[in-house]
Structure 1
């Protein structure tokens, strides 16, 4: 059966951008910029983008395009012993990240409906943690399933299933061409609306005012590289799969540059709305901005709802904001499911429709644990282990395998033959030495912190049984899938150009 292809490079670009732009672009980047020197944070951020993000994105595009396959197939074509690495990437993202990511999207969907009547009242913090999540005292106390979250979860998985079920052209490409312009339009509404609020300029000043003294702190640079790595969906196996659907003549470097700059530009743009609203909130309550700025979950589900209760038309503003989060999350969710579906189809020749249905049912069932009263605690632990250890290790191994056990200069020649922007030998050096070194430093820093003090104040038992073992279970599944016999001849067909 012929491999599906994108109908156009524009469709591919929108899908890749959709995968890259997620919830973290709206809340995590803005907070990092504020915490790490405002406008000065752009220096390490752009440095990380140019020296690690774009080179690694080009590498994943190149491997997927030249080897013509999903991550497991691409690695199997490089060397049979490396197939497990591709499976680990797609298993980590589907049976790890997607399980709890879908729950966060479900929260956003619930809050979209809550916004119309400002259901959180005068105390968004108590509403979110005590009434909505009803967070239990420990990860061991699962408690009951929160039905509002479960209903949202079903809607998220159903929407993702429908898009992936319809295939590359009629599903993912078409949806991306609708979702991405919609997201940009909704974000533009938020930005221009927020700029009209009293105190908006105070928030913007805090967002962009450079504090160059903070650049002396190594943590600022580590966070910048971490943000770039995760915001571009690197190490997920997604970009490898998406690039495999490109035709023979495709502008690899041009598409990588556009994906990276659109993604990072969106983060900067969305940050305007985030901090303009926080500035309004500080002005309305007569507090310093630092007292209303909270990170990640608190920003979206506590600080922002409180601001919406204070502003005129806040219910509509809230609806647009949470719809933005739903759209951004859904576009990323689709890419995670597709990366795994593509891998199974490549190896086992499974029919896409039934496979997608089965995967999404399993995913929904696996997500339910994160919709319990202990769900937030499980989410925190699993996210920490999978993103700080699993995906970083995948990134390191990706660079080492392709940089040292594959003919990197020939891969560069393949890219240069079909791309608008030519790569030099410097790219080889970044992939072989610089990027893995940076990722190893991030890994070592996280490991040192976690050994010194248990992450998040959780018990060692919870961290081991939930975090470490979830990571190892996905690794075991990767080896099982890698050692199953191939039911297709895809792994015997080399690449487009190299032999």
Structure 2
């Protein structure tokens, strides 16, 4: 029996895309970016970035993805076989994100259990870094295996496999219809409660206090564009793959607007909850909000448990709800990161969806055990920096050039406009995707490269090189291996 790769409805597509976009970055990265880049003033470059980059790029990805109705690697090969390497580079890089993302999902699964009885103790910082992660700055920490984290990660992989190996609509489609609305409902409850905490107004005042002088700072604009790239998963071949699964009557432009709006609404709503809680912490501890603000794992696994420790019995309800929200956000995102590589392998080597997902989940779970060691936290940081700031951004630049110039995005205009009920695309859109986007992303990429070179330790540079070699070799192997399907290089275009 052949596995079916098609959404059962447009709603499945929209909810799955929202689930992909709404992830950990919305909860633990965006509030910090908003606060540290001018507060209320940040909304000006943020909205510009959405209009100038987010929506136009998504429309481009959806349009080309729908046009080919195939995997990312196959479509790139069909556009120009000389670029097939790029067609595998991005899906492999995104799969590498999935592997280390599974570690964070595992940590959160552990905290979801601990939150029922505040099992992190009186010192959440020490518990997270020393007791749970047993953190080591030396690569020798790779020899110290942590069974608890490994088990938590393997449970996550089992859930991912259970959902992903089924037909698309029966697995991911059905789950997205449950998890994404549930995610929004729980976040509404958390934020609603957070806004009632004493001192919430202190945090919100800090968050939205605009520093208009920063609008003249180049970095705030780059921060906004960078946030939109990662928040909407632009250029990661996920949007392309999901669009290729859509039915023939999809209104791609309206879907783009719906997904962009939902994602931005979620991360700004989450910021209200985060800073309400930081305001409460500030009032309770006498520490300024500025000294409490953090991002990443520090916010989720240290700052929040610190708050729950002083919240009394309310924490026994809010704590599990919060960590469940983080888990669901992580799960809906991680489910999307396996799709581009899986579909590309199915297209080229003729494997069923079920078999491909099983192979990828077993492979990913085995490699992810590197993060279940004392060096796992450090390694995760190094790989994340390389993939997000160097590899992906480079791939996105090239993808933008291939889609806009070699494929010729102008071919999509009449097709897109013929089936939309909202805005129409035209010359303005072509100018953005052909000129503005490649230049803007190139500037961000160069900035990321300089940051890694200037601020990276010797160990980080070594592991960056090793990660790059793994990415390049795996991509090369998948590129040069002979296709097992007869139509690999045959295009089935719709425009």
Q: Which residue of 2 aligns with 1:473?
A: 470
- Contact 1:105-1:156 at 8 Å conserved across structures: yes
Tell me by how many angstroms 1:445 deviates: 1.4
> What does 1:373-452 correspond to in 2, within 5 Å?
373-420=374-421, 421-451=423-453
Supply the RMSD in Å over aligned alpha carbons: 1.4
Equivalents in 2 of 1:186, 1:468: separation in Å? 41
Tell me by how many angstroms 1:408 deviates: 1.7
Shift in CA distance, 472/415, structure 1 to aligned 2, threshold 3 Å: farther
Question: Structure 2: where are the runs of 5+ without partners?
Answer: none
Equivalents in 1 of 2:137, 2:348: separation in Å? 44
Deviations 1:439-484 (A, max 9, x none): 1111111222333x242xx21xx23432122123212222221222
Equivalents in 1 of 2:106, 2:258: separation in Å? 30
Deviations 1:253-280 (A, max 9, x none): 1111111111011000111111111111
- The aligned length equals 492
> What does 1:99-498 correspond to in 2, within 5 Å?
99-312=99-312, 313-420=314-421, 421-451=423-453, 453-455=454-456, 458-459=457-458, 462-498=459-495
Equivalents in 2 of 1:66, 1:122: separation in Å? 56
- Contact 1:102-1:156 at 8 Å conserved across structures: yes
Name the SS of the counterpart of 1:234 in structure 2: coil
Name the SS of the counterpart of 1:141 in structure 2: helix
Tell me by how many angstroms 1:493 deviates: 4.1
1:51 paired with 2:52, answer: yes
Equivalents in 2 of 1:223, 1:39: separation in Å? 14
Tell me by how many angstroms 1:488 deviates: 2.1
Equivalents in 2 of 1:454, 1:285: separation in Å? 33
Tell me by how many angstroms 1:492 deviates: 4.4
- Contact 2:93-2:391 at 8 Å conserved across structures: yes
Equivalents in 2 of 1:418, 1:248: separation in Å? 10
Question: Structure 1: where are the runs of 5+ without partners?
Answer: none
Deviations 1:276-333 (A, max 9, x none): 1111111111221112111221111111110111113112211111110100000111
Equivalents in 2 of 1:204, 1:106: separation in Å? 31
Equivalents in 2 of 1:110, 1:275: separation in Å? 24
- Contact 2:28-2:299 at 8 Å conserved across structures: yes
- Contact 2:12-2:177 at 8 Å conserved across structures: yes
Tell me by how many angstroms 1:241 deviates: 0.9
Equivalents in 2 of 1:87, 1:476: separation in Å? 11
Tell me by how many angstroms 1:84 deviates: 1.6
- Contact 2:77-2:489 at 8 Å conserved across structures: no
Deviations 1:107-134 (A, max 9, x none): 1111111111111222111111111111
Tell me by how many angstroms 1:33 deviates: 0.6
Name the SS of the counterpart of 1:54 in structure 2: helix
Tell me by how many angstroms 1:3 deviates: 5.6
- Contact 2:349-2:484 at 8 Å conserved across structures: yes
Q: Could you tell me the TM-score, scaled by structure 1's length?
A: 0.96
Q: Which residue of 2 aligns with 1:71?
A: 72
- Contact 2:3-2:352 at 8 Å conserved across structures: no
